[in-house]
Chain A
Amino acid sequence: MDRKEKLNSLKYSIINSIIPILIAFGIGAIAIILAKENPLSAYGTLFYRSLFNIKGIFNTLHFAGPLILTGLAIAISFKAGLFNMGIEGQLLSAGFVVAVMGNVWGELPKTVLVPLLLVVGVLVGVIVAIIPTMLKAFYNVNEMVVTLLLNYAIIHILQYLTENTFRDPSSGYVSTPRISSNAIPSRIFEDYRLTTFFIVAIVVYVIFYFIMKRSKLGFEITALGQNRNFAEATGMRIQKKIIIIMLASGALAGLAGAGWMMSEKYAYTLSFSGIPGLGWDGMLIALLGSHSPIGILIAAVFYAVVKTGSSNIAIFTSVPYEIVILLQALIVLFLSLKVFVKPKELKLGEPSVPKKRFKNLFKGGKE
């Protein structure tokens, strides 16, 4: 694509992301009016407190860290034409194990414990992703269904473990014991919540960016996502790629879970990942950023603004925190409409093929 065309398609993807956001905020405004508040001042609070002062910005970035990772986790699986809907479960599992080990290994010095726990988180994410991955790679079992359902199993297992085996008896509510202070990554600036975990997230993001854009692996994954037959015929081992991508996606989710635990939550509670969970947020972010790397970064930050902003709304106005859930739902709804797509010039002879996914459904007929 030349420059002009790139700009053009960029323009369309931006329009495509912004319009649903505007509509969502518009409808959200009605809800705010019903709560007997002025929507303008409520949204003002939302954006001002999380975007227009230093403290707010660092706060926002602090929340953006795990969101960047979960968004990336979804996006890379989409890129390969796979659907890892299990980010949430992978993230929760990693968070839980890190909470436990962060307490057990509390004596270790910070410089050892923090990286160790991040690695543990990654491993847990990978391990949880193994089941759907193997089912997909070797038996072609639909990964979307398996990952999605596995989330619910995981939530309940972790709930059981938190309520029983690993419950902190001294705590007034259901929670694991707090992680040791050695397990908490240090703040970048003394006065703000942003920790070194954010740097880790950014570094991982950049590494993935380069792998996807420049490496042989990234090339093969893109090809696989676009045209499976082509990838297979040109000698890209798709089974291997499926395994790599699904596990990498799980690893990112695990890292996000570990980071969220260590930099923000410090103990596993039943609302560890919030409502809606960080994994689900990741899905929205990947959609908003139309699966492009830069788009994801921007979408993650935007979403962190809304998330931190909505707690501010709840504190400073009488609009409940749940406004963020409403906004998210509306954004997803309108994003999926995609009314404002660029009118594509069709070519005959080679008519627009139905998107690959559907084509596979009809396998058997080539025409």
Chain B
Amino acid sequence: MEVIKTVDLTKKFGSFTANKNINISVLEGEIKAIVGENGAGKSTLMNMLYGLLKPTSGEIYLRGRLIHFNSPDDAILNGIGMVHQHFKLVPSLTVYENVLLGVEINKEVSIGNKKFKTFKVDQKQELKLVNDLIEKYKFNINANAYVKDLSIGAKQKVEILKMLYRNVNILIFDEPTAVLTPQEIEMFYETLRELKACGTSIIFITHKLGEVMDIADSVTVIKSGEVIDNLLVKDTNNKHLAQLMVGRDVLMHVEKKYKDYSNASVIYEVNNIKTKNKWGLNCVDDVSFNIRQGEIVGIAGVEGNGQSELVDIISGILKVTDGCIKFNGNDITNFWPDKLRKNKIAFIPEDRYEQGLCKEMTISENMIAGYHDSPDISKYGFISMKKRLQKSIDLINKYDVRVSKIEGLISSLSGGNAQKVIIAREFSSDPDLIIASQPTRGVDIGAIEFIHKSILDLQEKGKSVLLISSELSEIMSLSDRILVMYKGKIIGEVMGKNATREEVGYLMMGITHSEENTNG
């Protein structure tokens, strides 16, 4: 039975059409994947189903009934829930408190045979209800834990619980796996299977076509706001989907030439650096490595093992408590970010809306940020509006950023296109060294191909790259040398050319060669 059906659903932003005559249907208990390029209109479509955006025209039917949602609350009341990519949880509350946020159960007192609600929250009852849910869906998390102590995968489960508690039977996920580690993705699949077994229909957006193959029943391909095809997963494959999405064949793996860099000059040197996190623990603990000219060094590791802090140090945001960093022989320890940029080091930060972009500013303003005093756009401390816009337009074209209006705000861009703005800005600055942290998070396969090629092109020109990624395949296919971080330390180094997934995988779990041998 069709639980959701859309008829000619259309959404316009001003004169720009983000969704055009979309007709899709979702069956009871199926897992539907939505794929498409950045800016194709996937999130827009989901936002309409969830009541966050109002359709310009067209209809949505829920189990055959025409519906109009004014807000997500309406959607939830009608059984449609959504889990955002950026979670909306309160870190200082426990799991069950988060689940019941806004729908708390108050203790009742009975006087005679009448019951009265008190102001006190009935925590016991709440805890029990949440535990029941956790058990029903085999979620394996502790309802009493504080959200701030949870891993990203567990936080996602809390978001799902929030929806399940509100009795939704259709769940929408917008790029649920973008921030998950490979292990967490496995667990997420488990969760989806459980949900499906309980009769929940699932729609999820993804850029990873492998996931579609792994878990979905059907898939809808969207391109430039229109449905290109609705397929059953068993009738298609990765290559075919990629072809439909992009309209041409996509290289799933870039060709990389491996060279021996052991004689190249060292341009970047990190010596025994340490720093503490806010709890006073050494989150980067005696880390040393170097990067040679023309080399791509990858840092792999399960998220949360000090990579983010290491990147913060390297980008001049966090100070080291010990150790030093040298670039081309000069000491650059604890340099400010602007000075690092002047030294021709470019940065692609991990969190695009936190450090990389300012959502409330325009595309062109973001395109020059960090390089706004370069002489080609500013003179005597004043920025030329014309040159700024021109530069922005050039980069938008060169890096194929899909924008609905040239002078729009960053917040009007789709997630992947926002990421491309950072890529464009940093790559175009002609750096000698680029620090790229999760550079392809949330971007489509065509863009991944492009970004990977750009990284290799830089290398061709003799520039160096430090690549930090939780995407193991990305690290493996680009790096000349792979360092693995575990608990704040670099516990192993593997040459990229003959690295195996197993070898790196073991290191990521903290198992070094010697231990492996003694154990085995």
Interface, chain A (partner B; CB < 8 A): 1-2, 4-5, 210, 214-217, 219-220, 222-223, 226-227, 229-237, 345-351, 353, 362, 364-367
Q: Are A364 and B358 closer than 8 Å at their CB atoms?
A: no
Closest A residue, CB atoms, query B360 = A226
Asked if B290 CB lies within 8 Å of chain A CBs, one says: no
Within 8 A of A (CB), among B233-257: none
A4-B14, A349-B175 known; A235+B357 contact, CB < 8 A? no
Interface readout for B447-468 with A: 1 if CB under 8 Å, 0 if not? 0000000000000000000000
The complex places the Cα of A222 from the Cα of B381 at a distance, in Å, of 15
The complex places the Cα of A222 from the Cα of B407 at a distance, in Å, of 17
Q: A355 to chain B: closest CB distance in Å?
A: 10
CB-defined contacts of A220 to chain B, threshold 8 Å: 372
Q: A155 to chain B: closest CB distance in Å?
A: 37
**Among B44-52, B180-188, B223-231, B394-402, the stretch in contact with A:** B44-52
CB-defined contacts of B373 to chain A, threshold 8 Å: 216
Q: Are A235 and B14 closer than 8 Å at their CB atoms?
A: no
The complex places the Cα of A367 from the Cα of B85 at a distance, in Å, of 10
Q: Are B378 and A227 closer than 8 Å at their CB atoms?
A: no
Question: What are 27 pairs between A and B in contact, CB < 8 Å?
Answer: A1-B408, A1-B409, A215-B381, A216-B373, A216-B381, A219-B365, A226-B359, A230-B354, A230-B356, A230-B357, A232-B317, A233-B317, A233-B347, A233-B370, A235-B337, A237-B338, A349-B85, A349-B175, A350-B411, A362-B91, A365-B90, A365-B91, A366-B354, A367-B87, A367-B88, A367-B89, A367-B155
CB-defined contacts of A231 to chain B, threshold 8 Å: 358
Closest A residue, CB atoms, query B347 = A233
Q: Are A351 and B84 closer than 8 Å at their CB atoms?
A: yes
CB-defined contacts of B47 to chain A, threshold 8 Å: 346-348
A232-B337, A348-B43, A349-B415 known; A222+B361 contact, CB < 8 A? yes
CB-defined contacts of B52 to chain A, threshold 8 Å: 346-348
Interface readout for B392-423 with A: 1 if CB under 8 Å, 0 if not? 00000000000001011101000100000000
Closest A residue, CB atoms, query B150 = A367
Q: Determine the main DSSP class of A at the interface with B.
A: loop
CB-defined contacts of B336 to chain A, threshold 8 Å: 235, 237
Q: Are B359 and A348 closer than 8 Å at their CB atoms?
A: no
Q: Across chains A and B, which 10 residue pairs bring their CB atoms closest together, nearest first? A: A365-B91, A235-B338, A234-B370, A233-B355, A235-B337, A367-B87, A226-B360, A349-B174, A234-B369, A227-B358
Q: B469 to chain A: closest CB distance in Å?
A: 19
The complex places the Cα of A237 from the Cα of B336 at a distance, in Å, of 8
Q: B387 to chain A: closest CB distance in Å?
A: 12
CB-defined contacts of B89 to chain A, threshold 8 Å: 365, 367
Asked if B259 CB lies within 8 Å of chain A CBs, one says: no
Q: Are B88 and A235 closer than 8 Å at their CB atoms?
A: no
CB-defined contacts of B13 to chain A, threshold 8 Å: 345
Asked if B340 CB lies within 8 Å of chain A CBs, one says: yes
CB-defined contacts of B347 to chain A, threshold 8 Å: 233
CB-defined contacts of B43 to chain A, threshold 8 Å: 347-349
CB-defined contacts of B53 to chain A, threshold 8 Å: 345-347
A216-B382, A217-B381, A349-B85 known; A2+B355 contact, CB < 8 A? no
The complex places the Cα of A215 from the Cα of B377 at a distance, in Å, of 11
Per a CB cutoff under 8 Å, which of A210, A214, A223 touches B358?
Answer: A223
Interface, chain B (partner A; CB < 8 A): 13-14, 43, 46-47, 50, 52-53, 82, 84-92, 147-148, 155, 174-175, 278, 315-317, 336-341, 347, 349, 351, 353-362, 365, 369-370, 372-373, 378, 381-383, 385, 405, 407-409, 411, 415
Closest B residue, CB atoms, query A220 = B372
Q: Are B359 and A227 closer than 8 Å at their CB atoms?
A: yes
CB-defined contacts of A349 to chain B, threshold 8 Å: 43, 84-86, 174-175, 415
Given pairs A235-B336, A348-B43, 18 additional interface contacts (CB within 8 A): A4-B14, A226-B359, A227-B360, A230-B357, A230-B369, A232-B355, A233-B349, A233-B356, A234-B337, A234-B370, A345-B13, A348-B46, A348-B82, A350-B86, A364-B148, A365-B92, A367-B91, A367-B155
The complex places the Cα of A226 from the Cα of B86 at a distance, in Å, of 19
The complex places the Cα of A23 from the Cα of B180 at a distance, in Å, of 52
CB-defined contacts of B360 to chain A, threshold 8 Å: 226-227
Per a CB cutoff under 8 Å, which of A237, A348, A367 touches B50?
Answer: A348
The complex places the Cα of A222 from the Cα of B278 at a distance, in Å, of 29
CB-defined contacts of A367 to chain B, threshold 8 Å: 86-89, 91, 147, 155
The complex places the Cα of A226 from the Cα of B373 at a distance, in Å, of 20
Q: Are B369 and A216 closer than 8 Å at their CB atoms?
A: no
Per a CB cutoff under 8 Å, which of A219, A222, A347 touches B411?
Answer: A347
The complex places the Cα of A180 from the Cα of B359 at a distance, in Å, of 53
CB-defined contacts of B90 to chain A, threshold 8 Å: 365
CB-defined contacts of A362 to chain B, threshold 8 Å: 91-92
Q: A200 to chain B: closest CB distance in Å?
A: 23
CB-defined contacts of B155 to chain A, threshold 8 Å: 367
The complex places the Cα of A236 from the Cα of B317 at a distance, in Å, of 11
The complex places the Cα of A362 from the Cα of B408 at a distance, in Å, of 30
CB-defined contacts of B339 to chain A, threshold 8 Å: 235
Per a CB cutoff under 8 Å, which of A214, A223, A235, A346 touches B361?
Answer: A223
Closest B residue, CB atoms, query A8 = B14
Q: Are B355 and A230 closer than 8 Å at their CB atoms?
A: yes
The complex places the Cα of A220 from the Cα of B369 at a distance, in Å, of 9
Q: B455 to chain A: closest CB distance in Å?
A: 20
Q: A350 to chain B: closest CB distance in Å?
A: 6
Q: Are B356 and A214 closer than 8 Å at their CB atoms?
A: no
Closest A residue, CB atoms, query B88 = A351
CB-defined contacts of B341 to chain A, threshold 8 Å: 235
Closest B residue, CB atoms, query A227 = B358
CB-defined contacts of B174 to chain A, threshold 8 Å: 348-349
Per a CB cutoff under 8 Å, which of A214, A229, A234, A350 touches B383?
Answer: A214
CB-defined contacts of A219 to chain B, threshold 8 Å: 365, 372, 383
Q: Are A2 and B407 closer than 8 Å at their CB atoms?
A: yes
The complex places the Cα of A2 from the Cα of B409 at a distance, in Å, of 10
CB-defined contacts of B356 to chain A, threshold 8 Å: 230, 233
The complex places the Cα of A350 from the Cα of B369 at a distance, in Å, of 21
The complex places the Cα of A223 from the Cα of B369 at a distance, in Å, of 9
The complex places the Cα of A349 from the Cα of B173 at a distance, in Å, of 9
Q: B111 to chain A: closest CB distance in Å?
A: 40
CB-defined contacts of B315 to chain A, threshold 8 Å: 233
Closest A residue, CB atoms, query B50 = A348
In this complex, the member of B317, B349, B370 whose beta carbon has the largest number of chain A beta carbons within 10 angstroms is B370
The complex places the Cα of A273 from the Cα of B317 at a distance, in Å, of 44
Q: Are B84 and A1 closer than 8 Å at their CB atoms?
A: no
The complex places the Cα of A346 from the Cα of B42 at a distance, in Å, of 15
Q: Are A351 and B86 closer than 8 Å at their CB atoms?
A: yes
Per a CB cutoff under 8 Å, which of B84, B317, B353, B407 touches A348?
Answer: B84
Q: A223 to chain B: closest CB distance in Å?
A: 6
CB-defined contacts of A234 to chain B, threshold 8 Å: 337, 355, 369-370
The complex places the Cα of A322 from the Cα of B364 at a distance, in Å, of 49
Closest A residue, CB atoms, query B409 = A1
A1-B409, A216-B383, A345-B53 known; A350+B359 contact, CB < 8 A? yes
Q: A225 to chain B: closest CB distance in Å?
A: 9
CB-defined contacts of B370 to chain A, threshold 8 Å: 233-235
The complex places the Cα of A362 from the Cα of B89 at a distance, in Å, of 12
The complex places the Cα of A237 from the Cα of B341 at a distance, in Å, of 13
Q: B343 to chain A: closest CB distance in Å?
A: 11
Q: B12 to chain A: closest CB distance in Å?
A: 11
Q: B292 to chain A: closest CB distance in Å?
A: 26
Per a CB cutoff under 8 Å, which of B14, B92, B337, B358 touches A226?
Answer: B358
Per a CB cutoff under 8 Å, which of B337, B354, B383, B408 touches A215?
Answer: B383
CB-defined contacts of A2 to chain B, threshold 8 Å: 14, 405, 407-408
CB-defined contacts of B50 to chain A, threshold 8 Å: 348
